[in-house]
Amino acid sequence: MSHESQLKKVLTEGEFAVTAECGPPKGADAQVILKKARLLKDKVDAVNVTDNQTAIVRMSSLAACALLKTAGLDPVLQMVVRDRNRISLQSDILGASALGIRNVLCLSGDHQIFGNQPQALGVFDLDSIQFVQAVKGMRDDGLILGGDSLDHKPDMFIGAAANPFADPLGFRVVRLAKKIKAGADFIQTQCIYNLDRFESWLSMAVDRGLTQKAYILGGVTPIKSVGMARYMKTKVAGMDIPDDVIKRMEGVPKEKQREEGISICVEAILRLKELSGVSGVHIMAIEWEEAVGEIVERAGLYPRPAPDRA
Amino acid sequence: MITGEQKPVEEIRQMIAPYKRILVLGCGSCVAECASGGEKETAMLASALRMAARMNDEDVTIEEMTLDRQCVMEFVIQLDKVIDPYDAVLSLGCGAGVQAVADMYPEVRVIPGLNTEFLGETKAQGVWAETCLGCGDCMLYDFGGICPLARCSKQILNGPCGGSVDGRCEVNPDIPCAWQLIIDRLDRFGALDRLEDIYPPKDWSTKQGAGPRKIIREDQQK
């Protein structure tokens, strides 16, 4: 089993990278993860594992990443600062590296009020940018926060998220710059439906030279139904779904909506592929991993570069 | 000020049920300003409790008194002259006031009548908002006078997060996004470039690093 980051390899070799997402189950069954692993294997370069997304208790991201690793995939460990203080975050980075996990995505996390534990204490000891900086210090300098040295450095390809659709627009690129300055090697964005706004964000990032310093992966999510599109537009914070996307979904009969959602997604990827400054796509097919293979093939991104077999 | 809200009367009645002679004790400071434990609220609650006791044929004496400050010993000792007949004090002070009275009179049961909430401001009549966490190392200068710890739902020191939309917080659109406010304020002062630097992790040792905090000022001690 390779202990190198396949995602890093693909990106540094200048290939257009493809990542997908795997949501862990609300239960302890390893087979759920291994089934998703079979659906995604060889279709994408790396697979993000979400960390108690929407603040709902699920199998831990670290454990699910370890399972993906045994199945031969390159996992991206998502870690939120909502649930762990700096002691625990740094400890889990060491543990993840020891397990052969080579990618981490450092996030704030959905606020606990949205999940099934609204009584929980939100930790937020570090913010996501400070967390990126901490991981970089551990990896490059072998130092933890406070300056103590490690006797073995973790090996991590460090990621962060960006939302080009949140406010204030002008400041979104400042925050991107801070994440990259903190040490982000790659950036995965919020789902892109409003490509025009994404392009104006991207051109600001290009102007600041940021796309030369980190790999930007555009986020896409295939829409399953017009209901899902409407829900995301109105209920999910920081999500920008233009009316013409909703109208397009409304314009097809219910049984054809999944296919239309996949088409919209493929078209977005084709447009992203042409943009200078975009190094890949991150396909978040929420509880719809079956769709990923078709999307990758139709977007002309299959087959994927083969990993080096160590 | 320290803000608080009165506990539901039913909860208060359950707590005072074992006692026959009860002093409802208000505080004329913060909790008077936030209209939860001042002289007026103390009188109203005592009267409501007396009425409830009468309607339930309970043989209980409920009287009231308000101290200027329940959290300061010099004021608490005024109770020396009056406390003897009572077997319980229902305090409408903040948590500090409740404990100050309990420390002074360990033989008397002191019961909290308020839920102490936060350090905040009176924003409008009947509106109070949290603006300070009491972290022990004020950072307001760096953030244009707006505290991201107290006012950002995720306590982000390098914000705003991806949930800031139209200047509102994703947690609740009634909450202004603290980071939008910080950016607007620093922009007005021409100091936006300060936000280009990564703000380091908070040193929480000044808040909770060494257990309960204490200030000792020798220059103030006689």
In chain B, the number of structural domains is: 2
Beta carbons of B187 and B203 less than 8 angstroms apart: no
End residue of a domain, out of B93, B118, B143:
B118
Which pairing describes strands B114-124 and B2-6: parallel, antiparallel, or unpaired?
Answer: antiparallel
Please list every residue in chain A whose beta carbon sits closer than 8 Å to the beta carbon of residue B198: 129-130, 133, 178, 181-182
For residue B39, being part of any structural domain is answered with: yes
Question: Two tokens at A308?
Answer: 């080096």
Question: CA of A89, closest CA in chain B: separation in Å?
Answer: 13
Beta carbons of B60 and B20 less than 8 angstroms apart: yes
Q: How far apart are CA B81 and CA A5, in angstroms?
A: 76
Question: CA of A258, closest CA in chain B: separation in Å?
Answer: 28
A84 in B contact zone (CB under 8 Å):
no
Do B54 and B144 lie in one domain? The reply is: no
Please list every residue in chain B whose beta carbon sits closer than 8 Å to the beta carbon of residue A163: 162
pLDDT digits 0-9 by tens, B25-80? 999 999 999 999 999 999 999 999 999 999 999 999 999 999 999 999 999 999 99
Please list every residue in chain A whose beta carbon sits closer than 8 Å to the beta carbon of residue B199: 130
Question: CA of B116, closest CA in chain A: separation in Å?
Answer: 18
Does the distance separating the beta carbons of A125 and B157 come in below 8 Å? Answer: no
For residue B158, being part of any structural domain is answered with: yes
The CA–CA distances, whole Å, from A64 to A22, A29, A50, A59, A78 equal: 9, 10, 9, 7, 11
Q: How far apart are CA B189 and CA B91, in angstroms?
A: 45
A124 in B contact zone (CB under 8 Å):
yes
Please list every residue in chain B whose beta carbon sits closer than 8 Å to the beta carbon of residue A241: none
With a cut of 70, which residues of chain A have pLDDT below it? 1-2, 309-310
Do B12 and B106 lie in one domain? The reply is: yes
Do B23 and B80 lie in one domain? The reply is: yes
Counted across chains A and B, CB pairs separated by less than 8 A come out at 88
Work out the burial of residue B107: count CB atoms within 10 Å of its CB; fewer than 13 is exposed, 13-18 middle, 19 or more buried.
Answer: exposed
Does the distance separating the beta carbons of B201 and A167 come in below 8 Å? Answer: no
Nearest C-alpha in B relative to A183: B198
pLDDT digits 0-9 by tens, A2-19? 679 999 999 999 999 999
B162 in A contact zone (CB under 8 Å):
yes
B167 in A contact zone (CB under 8 Å):
yes
The helices-and-strands tally (H runs, E runs) of chain B is 8, 7
pLDDT value for A167: 86
Question: What mean pLDDT, rounded, does chain B reach?
Answer: 96
pLDDT value for A309: 64
Please list every residue in chain A whose beta carbon sits closer than 8 Å to the beta carbon of residue B161: 108, 128, 166
For residue B124, being part of any structural domain is answered with: no
pTM of the prediction?
0.96
B180 in A contact zone (CB under 8 Å):
yes
pLDDT value for A23: 96
Do B165 and B73 lie in one domain? The reply is: no
Q: How far apart are CA A29 and CA A9, in angstroms?
A: 31
For residue B26, being part of any structural domain is answered with: yes
A36 CB-near residues (< 8 Å, 6+ apart): A22, A289
Do B106 and B146 lie in one domain? The reply is: no
Question: CA of B172, closest CA in chain A: separation in Å?
Answer: 10
Do B21 and B55 lie in one domain? The reply is: yes
B195 in A contact zone (CB under 8 Å):
yes
A122 in B contact zone (CB under 8 Å):
yes
Do B139 and B114 lie in one domain? The reply is: no
Q: How far apart are CA B98 and CA B94, in angstroms?
A: 6
> Which residue(s) pair with A218 in the sheet?
A281
A145 in B contact zone (CB under 8 Å):
yes
Q: Which of A108, A130, A133 sits opposite B161 (nearest CB)?
A: A108
Do B72 and B147 lie in one domain? The reply is: no
Please list every residue in chain A whose beta carbon sits closer than 8 Å to the beta carbon of residue B157: 127, 130
From first to last of its 222 residues, chain B has per-residue pLDDT tens of 999 999 999 999 999 999 999 999 999 999 999 999 999 999 999 999 999 999 999 999 999 999 999 999 999 999 999 999 999 999 999 999 999 999 999 999 999 999 999 999 999 999 999 999 999 999 999 999 999 999 999 999 999 998 888 999 999 999 999 999 999 999 999 999 999 999 999 999 999 877 899 999 999 997
> Which residue(s) pair with B128 in the sheet?
B122
Buried b (16+ CB within 10 A) or exposed e, A99-110: bbbbbbbbbbbb
Topology adopted by domain A6-298: TIM Barrel (3.20.20)
Which pairing describes strands B127-132 and B114-124: parallel, antiparallel, or unpaired?
Answer: antiparallel
**CATH number of the domain residue B18 falls in:** 3.40.50.2300
Do B43 and B146 lie in one domain? The reply is: no
Which residue carries 């293979």 as its tokens? A293
**What φ, ψ does residue B212 adopt, rounded to 5°?**
-55, 135
Do B60 and B146 lie in one domain? The reply is: no
Do B60 and B111 lie in one domain? The reply is: yes
Question: Chain B 133-152, CB below 8 Å of chain A: which residues?
Answer: none
Q: ipTM for the complex?
A: 0.94
> Which residue(s) pair with A143 in the sheet?
A149
Q: Which of B155, B166, B196 sits opposite A124 (nearest CB)?
A: B155
Please list every residue in chain B whose beta carbon sits closer than 8 Å to the beta carbon of residue A167: 160, 164-167, 177, 180
Best A171, A173, A179, A240 residue to mutate vs chain B (most B CBs within 10 Å): A171
For residue B57, being part of any structural domain is answered with: yes
Please list every residue in chain A whose beta carbon sits closer than 8 Å to the beta carbon of residue B166: 167
Do B78 and B9 lie in one domain? The reply is: yes
Expressed as residue numbers, the domain containing B181 is: 135-200
